[in-house]
Structures are given as structure tokens and as C-alpha cells.
């Protein structure tokens, strides 16, 4: 029986050591977690500052696209702009229709100026192309 009692004592000691280790671990974790959260917040804030600085630099170079998609979009916009500026194309028709609309608005909507069938066809074709 003395060996049995010694075994019980050892088990009690080990349980007490385990309990103490758990308490120490919980205390250490409770101390470390807020520090790590604060460090994470500082790093996130720093990253946000860097990202905003990059965006500012990018905005300063707004005429120089940085990505291939932006270059493609720029080419498409230039092409569309060229098409719209052709004198025989849409720009002249749009300006003409715009002036007709302004005249109608100036006359208070009671105007005898209306779109003829040719202009209506041109508008419909234009809208279908879009």
C-alpha cells in the first residue's frame, strides 16, 4: 500500500502542476492577445497608408495606364472618340438632333418642328448599333 499511496501523491502533484500550467498559459494568452491585436491594427493601418500612397501616385500618372486592361480600354475609347468625331458620321447628326431638341424646348413643347422619318431612322439605326 505505500507504493499505491506514493502513486496517488504523484498523481495529485502532476494534476496540480497541470492546473498551474493551465492557469499560467491562460494568463500568458490573455496578456499576448491584446498586444498581438494592437500590432495587427498598426500593420493594417500601415498597409492602408501604403495603399493610399500608391493610389495617389497612380492618380498622378493618370494618363499612363498601369495595367493591360486599362491600355485596352484606352485604345477602345480613342477608337470610339475618332469615330464620333468624323464629320460625316454621328457627331454631326447628334448635334443636329440636339439643336432640334433645344428649339422644341425653347418653344415650350408646342412646336411644329418634329423629327422627320429620315432622322427617326438614323436614330434607330444608331441606337441599334450600340
Confidence of residue 23 (pLDDT cuts 50, 70, 90): very high
Question: Model's pTM, two decimal places?
Answer: 0.36
Which cell is 18 given?
497541470
| Residue scoring higher pLDDT (72 or 110) | 72
Q: Which residue has the cell 494618363?
A: 63
| Rounded mean pLDDT, 48-74 | 74
**CA-based diameter of the chain, in Å?**
120
| Integer Cα distance of 29 and 130 in angstroms | 62
| Integer Cα distance of 103 and 107 in angstroms | 6
| Rounded mean pLDDT, 52-73 | 72
pLDDT of res. 128: 74
Radius of gyration of the chain (CA): 38
Amino acid at each position: 500500500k505505500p507504493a499505491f499511496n506514493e502513486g496517488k501523491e504523484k498523481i495529485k502533484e502532476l494534476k496540480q502542476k497541470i492546473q498551474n500550467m493551465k492557469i499560467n498559459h491562460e494568463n500568458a494568452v490573455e496578456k499576448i492577445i491584446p498586444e498581438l491585436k494592437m500590432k495587427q491594427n498598426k500593420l493594417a493601418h500601415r498597409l492602408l497608408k501604403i495603399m493610399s500612397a500608391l493610389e495617389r501616385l497612380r492618380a498622378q500618372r493618370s494618363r499612363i495606364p498601369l495595367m493591360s486592361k486599362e491600355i485596352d480600354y484606352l485604345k477602345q475609347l480613342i477608337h470610339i472618340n475618332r469615330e464620333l468625331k468624323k464629320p460625316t458620321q454621328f457627331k454631326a447628326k447628334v448635334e443636329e438632333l440636339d439643336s432640334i431638341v433645344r428649339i422644341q424646348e425653347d418653344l415650350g413643347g408646342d412646336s411644329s418642328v418634329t423629327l422627320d422619318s429620315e432622322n427617326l431612322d438614323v436614330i434607330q439605326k444608331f441606337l441599334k448599333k450600340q
